[in-house]
Every structure is written in C-alpha cells, then in structure tokens.
Chain A
C-alpha cells in the first residue's frame, strides 16, 4: 500500500478563492509529481520536484498555481484563484529516483477539488 498521504480528501471552493492541498511523499522519496485527473480520467502533468527544486512545470501551473516541497514539511499545491475548470482530482505521487532510469510512481489517494 502506498504511503503517500494527501490532505484534504475533499475540497470545495468558490470561484476566485484559493485552494490549497498538501502531500507527504513516501519516506526517502526525493521526487514528487502532481497530476490533475479530470472527470474523463485524463491525466494532466502539473509539476514535479526533486527534493526542494522544481524540475518541470506546465505553463498553467507557472501562471496560476503556487507549489513547493520544503524540507521537513509537506509538499503543497495551491491554486491562487480557483476556476470552475479546476474541478478535478489532484494526485500527488512520489518516487525513489536513482539515476536516469524511470522509477515507479507511488500515488496518494488524491484531493478532489470542486469549484462552485
């Protein structure tokens, strides 16, 4: 069973409000991914980190999201001004990255965001 912990499980916000979700990666995993899974089950990559450093992020994330993975604290993903289209399941995953090979992503249970 995955030991990636995401909170809260459910989040309801009004349009224009901030929406913040957190993720504690599996112990010892330096790499963290955030994905958005929409109602059609499509995964959209948002951002990933290695330790505290951002590796990659998409344009939307750079413009509208605030994300960090501080040492000794949960990672967080915050939408600065929620839009209806942000309603989705936000999945955090961590991996034990070693060299250039792809390691398995271990997923949390997700935060389901509903923007009214």
Chain B
C-alpha cells in the first residue's frame, strides 16, 4: 500500500530563516495532499490541502510544492518565527476514505 516518508524528523532553525520539510510517497494515484500543524497538547490544525493538479500553493508565510514526477511534497516556511515551533505532518490521500500520514517533523524556531 501507500507509504509516506517524511524528512527530517527534527529541524531547528533561527528566527527569520526558512524551514523545509519534505514528504515522498509511493502511490502515483494519490490525488490529495495535506499539511497539518500540531502544537504541544493541541489538535492537528490544517495548514493546506493540495490537489494533484496544482504544483505550487501559497499560504500565509509558507509555500507548498508538489512534484508529481518525483512523488514529493514539500512545505517551505519562508521566514520562520517562534510561533511556528510545532510538529508538522504531511498526509496523502489516494481516495475519499484513506489518509496516510508521515511520521512528522518537530520544528524548533530559535529566537
């Protein structure tokens, strides 16, 4: 079945620097992609939902890139700030009822 590999597991950056988190997936039929943020003790918060037809998606302070050829999804926080410190999870969905999560990246933004 579908496998999702997320890298790196831990990431420390200085405030103002960029932070890049990458997920690779195996199922070429995956159509929907998600990035979630989980702060300590809190629920998962949706950052962005990406359709396979769109390669570049911009949010507030971050960009999501989808490379279908390489089966790679990345989250790029352009200028990280301490409030971005959290766990980030990618999720890949080949259909309506199946969602596979990456193992997460713990991001620590140093002031």
Contact = CB atoms under 8 A, between A and B. Distances in A.
A80 B41 CA distance: 26
Given A42-B103, A102-B31, A48 B97 contact: yes
A91 B43 contact: yes
B93 interface: yes
Interface in B5-58: 31-32, 34, 36, 41-46, 49
Nearest to A95: B96
Task: Tell me if A's interface is mostly helix, strand, loop or mixed.
Answer: loop
Contacts of A55: 97
A110 interface: yes
Nearest to B4: A43
Contact of A107 (B44, B87, B100): B44
Interface of B: 31-32, 34, 36, 41-46, 49, 87, 89, 91, 93, 95-101, 103-104
17 contacts: A31-B96, A41-B87, A41-B89, A45-B98, A48-B97, A50-B97, A97-B96, A101-B31, A102-B95, A102-B96, A104-B46, A104-B49, A105-B44, A106-B46, A107-B36, A107-B43, A109-B42
Given A4-B43, A43-B101, 4 more contacts: A31-B96, A50-B97, A102-B93, A104-B46
